Chain A
């Protein structure tokens, strides 16, 4: 299977996008299986209320509008995350207008049962990471979410954020410096 990442030749990537435009299911299966995880992760890291549901909406909009998209796979990835970002903003506005519902904790019945102590430690560590993440500025969070969680390149991230590559570089440097300071000050132990 070809990949949407850099090991894809541009021609095969464009072919796949063309196939997706024509409604070829295998093309959509590849696109969805490769991008759904990063999209859900991105939406979650950006505070989406229901990342899985919102991700479905993102992909339906991608499918609906793909005929109007022109570009290679890299631009396609950026485009998908632009849509994700906009749906996230829509969700926040919508949430502001409607009464919020109480989230039930979702248990993954298919998840393998592991060592409880390990799981707790991992959970605590993950919690700390996200606490640190939340102390960053909005733009710094956005950059790290796109670079690390969504696995976008520097250029793709700049496209999604509508910033110059240099500005994105500066943001990610400052973000990592802040995190490093917090680690060194012992505010988080990883």
Chain B
């Protein structure tokens, strides 16, 4: 056979092997003795995890999150924070500031830490708030815990607000006794955040936080109520099924201008309709999938996962860590743990 014929044979063998490898990796029989002993290996790896439980509960929560997301437009607080930070920069140089930073809820200097952080000094960011939230929840200080995250949600930073919201939703889901309770809590919290974002936050964000905390705890007090949405209501709610009104904004409708009236929180429509009674949130009670969100202009960002190597291919996926580890590439990998196998299949 000629050299070109040998080359063609080699090419054909390579292509054949590639096809066989594809069959192998997709779990199909390879019909190749050479690859037969790898089939058991692939089969064991692909055994995978059991189908997920609580699909309906998760779907409800995820749909509510998708409906509730919107870009933040608040910049005023940031401008104020910048000015305040420049005026108070000398404080950051003091030993008190250094000592206060890193203190936890309950510590003597924690109040100092939070005050400095509010003006932009030693701000540990949303991760620090979330850690503090967990500490406060575990110590039973629910109001303060929710106030803490509520402040982040209202801070004007969309990424931090989104992360805080996500932690709130997870906390509500985990703290619920059953799927229905979790659904209602999550939906009510998201609705409340949507309705009150950017409005009526007190100096320490506690008004907003109290509202959320009341929702989070509401099922304890409303177990006997009907399932028509009534148990989303905290005791001081004006309506029978709506999210709690922020006590800091009630009676002051002029402050409540909806930043994104095209949004719908859908799932919680029964409760949202009560907020319309104030005349301040004209489109928050549209009910599920009214299409209002579908017409909401997007950010204009095009997310193409196939963008450059090591980049955030979503354009949106947050990575709080140092840039050297930010991409899909990673230098260190502990590998799967000892229990990394597919759950004893």
Contact = CB atoms under 8 A, between A and B. Distances in A.
Interface in A57-97: 57, 59-71, 75, 78-79, 82-83, 85-86, 89-90, 92-94
B298 A68 contact: yes
A163 to B, nearest CB: 7
B66 A22 contact: yes
A89 B325 contact: yes
A60 B44 contact: no
Instruction: From B47, B62, B67, name the one whose CB has the most chain A CB atoms within 10 angstroms.
Output: B62
Given A21-B293, A190-B37, A130 B50 contact: no
A143 to B, nearest CB: 9
Interface string B309-345: 1111111111111000111111111111111111111
A148 B45 contact: yes
Given A47-B337, A82-B317, A130-B340, A169 B18 contact: yes
B49 A40 contact: yes
A21 B294 contact: yes
A129 B344 contact: no
Contacts of B299: 67-68
Nearest to B51: A37
A117 interface: no
B160 to A, nearest CB: 13
Contacts of B131: 98
B328 A162 contact: yes
Contacts of B320: 90, 93
A161 B328 contact: yes
Given A89-B330, A122-B344, A190 B305 contact: no
Contacts of B27: 148
B66 A63 contact: yes
Contacts of B127: 94
B328 A59 contact: no
Most chain-B Cβ atoms within 10 A of its Cβ — which of A22, A69, A70?
Answer: A22
A115 interface: no
Contact of A69 (B170, B266, B314): B314
A82 B166 contact: no
Interface string A144-169: 10011101001000011111000001
Contact of A162 (B49, B52, B327, B340): B327
B38 A133 contact: no
A82 B44 contact: no
Contact of A160 (B62, B328, B345): B328
Given A32-B58, A60-B170, A162-B311, A125 B305 contact: no
Contacts of A21: 66, 293-294
B304 A75 contact: yes
B199 to A, nearest CB: 21
Q: Which of A44, A68, A89 has the most CB of B within 10 A?
A: A68
A41 interface: yes
Given A68-B314, A133-B336, A28 B327 contact: no
Nearest to B322: A93
A83 to B, nearest CB: 5
Given A67-B69, A68-B314, A161-B329, 9 more contacts: A21-B66, A23-B267, A37-B51, A56-B58, A62-B62, A79-B314, A90-B319, A138-B332, A148-B42
22 contacts: A23-B67, A25-B56, A28-B58, A28-B59, A28-B62, A32-B55, A36-B52, A36-B58, A38-B48, A60-B65, A64-B65, A64-B66, A65-B303, A67-B66, A67-B298, A69-B314, A70-B303, A75-B305, A130-B338, A144-B45, A159-B313, A162-B308
